[in-house]
Structure 1
Amino acid sequence: MLRPTSLRPAFRSRAVCSTRFASTGSNPQLDAAQKKAQEVLSSTQQTATKAFESAKKIAGPLGETAGKYLASTMKSAGPLGERAGKLMGRYKEPVLYNFAVFREIAKQVYRAEGLSPPSSIDVVRSAYRTMWTNATSKAFWQNAINNGEVAKLGIYALEAYGIFKIGEMVGRRSIVGYNLD
């Protein structure tokens, strides 16, 4: 009877070891793919830069103020700020690209839903007054129970509580308790 350990050398000798070596000649397909990748990268960088500039323009004075604030922060941080900028350098393009995509999606949702900021402080006050009136009204709660709206309100409350708890965990950088060391 053969022991399993005695078969190991036999399996090793039969195993096919495929080793790939880089070719010394040029591969036209590889060269074309690398050239295309470089073109895509440069166009993405240009698009991201344009998107960042347009985002600053769309944001108006606030966007330009934020850009100036970031630049002054980098300068005032001195060598540390320059070093952080260099460390961020690789990620600048993807971050700007993702920002541009988010901006376009938000713009489409804003237009499709017909959203707009409140026109005056009275609109905000009336909204909060209505919420407070509903929360303290016995008739509202009776109607919510009869219509089954309590379940929906409970889910909203649970979502708000969950988001609050996640924020706490992020803030203390720990799931349970604070580091007291």
Structure 2
Amino acid sequence: MRRPSSIRPALRSKVAYSTRFASTGSNPQLETAQKKAQEVLSTTRQTATKAFESAKKIAGPLGETAGRYLASATKSAGPAGERAGKLMGSYKEPVLYNFSVFREIVKQVYRAEGLSPPSSVDVVRSAYRTMWTNATSRAFWQKVVSNGEIARLGVYAVEAYGIFKIGEMVGRRSIVGYKLD
């Protein structure tokens, strides 16, 4: 059996190297592709502009307020923001890109699910009142057990407990116990 290091020179010698020559004349296929790319770019810009304008109309005063806050945050970051960007070095672009992608996904989910903050305090009160009524009602629990929904409620309870515990760990900045120095 041959050693791998003795095989490499043999493989390299069999590889045919080709030389690429630059074209000197005009290439009609290249010109057509460039024109199509320019057309796609212009239509994409127009579509993006229309989408941005419609989003501003839909958002109404909330969108204008958010735009003002974003502009003021950009101004207030000023030198500190620039320093943070310099500290990130080559990671700045991927981090900003991933943040932008995350932001767009959250927007899409927000729109698709029809999410919105509660319109009034009464809506929040009625939701909690319903939960409390169900939690203290014996008929509700009998129905849940007979339907087999108790397993789903148990999973929800474990999720809520887990999220609570993760929040505690983040608050303590430690997994076990509090740091007492």
TM-score, L = length of structure 2:
0.60
* Letter aligned with residue 36 of structure 1: K
For residues 66-91 of structure 1, what are the alpha-carbon distances to aligned partners after superposition, in whole Å with 9 as ceiling and x for unaligned? 11121222233335668999x88xx8
For residues 108-154 of structure 1, what are the alpha-carbon distances to aligned partners after superposition, in whole Å with 9 as ceiling and x for unaligned? 664xxxx8876653333222101111122233222211110112222
CA distance in 1, matches of 2:22, 2:73: 49
Percent identity over the alignment? 65
1:80–1:119: structure 2 CA closer, same or farther, 3 Å change rule?
Answer: closer
In the alignment, which residue of structure 2 is the partner of 1:24? 23
TM-score, L = length of structure 1:
0.60
In the alignment, which residue of structure 2 is the partner of 1:136? 136
In the alignment, which residue of structure 2 is the partner of 1:149? 149
For residues 5-62 of structure 1, what are the alpha-carbon distances to aligned partners after superposition, in whole Å with 9 as ceiling and x for unaligned? 6555433322x23445253234322332233223323332332233223222211111
In the alignment, which residue of structure 2 is the partner of 1:43? 43
Q: Secondary structure at the match of 1:23?
A: coil
**1:159-178 mapped onto 2 (5 Å cutoff):** 159-160=159-160
Cα root mean square deviation, aligned:
4.3
* Letter aligned with residue 23 of structure 1: A
Q: Secondary structure at the match of 1:78?
A: helix
5+ unaligned residues in a row in structure 2: which ranges?
Answer: 86-91
Q: How many residues align?
A: 163
* Letter aligned with residue 21 of structure 1: R
